[in-house]
Amino acid sequence: MRKRGLRARAALAVVVTAVLATAGCDAFGGGGADGTKDPGAGASRSASRPAPVWNRSPDSVAAVGDSITRGFDACAVLTDCPEVSWATGSDAGVDSLAVRLLGAAGAAGHSWNYAETGARMSDLPGQMARAAARGPQLVTVMVGANDACRASASAMTSVADFRAGFEESLATLRATLPKAQVYVASVPNLKRLWSQGRTNPLGKQVWKLGICPSMLGDADDLTRAAVVRRDAVQQRVEEYNEVLKDVCGKDRRCRFDRGAVFDYRFGTDQLSHWDWFHPSRDGQARLAEIAYRTVTAVKP
């Protein structure tokens, strides 16, 4: 009887020791038999944690697009002024995206502007190829206004062609730089531009020279035909923005501004007083702010 009691207590001690050992392992995170933490456990978990896909502080920037990114008519009439470009300009008053990300010295040596005045989406693949050759970590895109600003509404770039051009542009970039990041600005609100610019008599006279006739032609004409024409242009701009959003959304290293440029409530201070169409220095600064917020946001 005594021997059976001793054997029972011995067996119980073994069970308790095993339970405590197991509990100690769970409570202190595992490791050696003495209960100390395995120094390799945390490193293993850190190594398995994926690096973030989006780099909020890229070290180089290339810009592609149209006259807005070239700073056209922001400094002098009928002249590009890339130093005030929202994307890569050096002007302190604009404080471009490149300067905000890289500093003035960094932007001077590590940012490039391949945008072209008058460019449409069909020109973007070629610009993207030239930009990719520089190996930038971030490429900015602003294009589409010229696709809508044609001699007539019927001459606007079709939505299908606009999509094909943007898809080709991203494919061109990815063939060379699969990990480059892309910031895509929405097409500006051309109807708001008409409503703001037409308040200035000089602006309306300048528009008669042929600036965006599909939207700005006969600025004071409020007949049904003119309203239908402007609405058609506005709808096409909105469709272009849906394309930009959709195609960019399928690329994990692409960020669309979610319509921030289109939605921005700009006034005449943000318009060039040479043509009342392109952004002024102040307008370029507002575009830079929008881009910087999008690029540096924790989440898109």
What is the phi/psi pair of residue 137, to 5°?
-80, -25
Is the four-CA dihedral 225, 276, 113, 245 of positive or negative sign? Answer: negative
Written in H, E and C, the secondary structure of 178-194 is CCCEEEECCCCCHHHHH
Q: What is the pLDDT of residue 119?
A: 98
What is the phi/psi pair of residue 57, to 5°?
-135, 65
Q: What is the pLDDT of residue 216?
A: 97
Across the beta sheet with 61-65, what order do the strands follow? 111-113, 61-65, 138-142, 181-184, 254-256
* Nearest CA among 88, 83, 109, 112 for reference residue 100: 88
Q: What is the pLDDT of residue 46?
A: 44
Q: What are the CA-CA distances from residue 56 to residues 92, 103, 128, 132, 297 (Å)?
A: 22, 14, 21, 19, 7
Q: Which domains does the chain have, with CATH numbers?
A: 2-48 (no CATH), 61-296 (3.40.50.1110)
Q: What is the pLDDT of residue 179?
A: 97
Q: Tell me: the pLDDT tens digits for 261-283?
A: 999 999 999 999 999 999 999 99
- Size of the chain, expressed as the number of residues it contains: 300
Round to whole Å and give the CA distance between 162 and 247: 11
Angle made by CA atoms 148, 164, 248, in degrees to the nearest 5: 90
Share of the chain above pLDDT 70, in %: 83
Which residues, in sequence order, are bridge partners of residue 63? 113, 140
Whether 138 contacts 218, CB under 8 Å:
no
**Residue ranges of the chain whose pLDDT lies below 70:** 1-52
What tokens appear for 128 in the block? 């993207």
Q: What is the pLDDT of residue 50?
A: 58
Q: What is the pLDDT of residue 299?
A: 86
Is the whole-model pTM more than 0.85? no
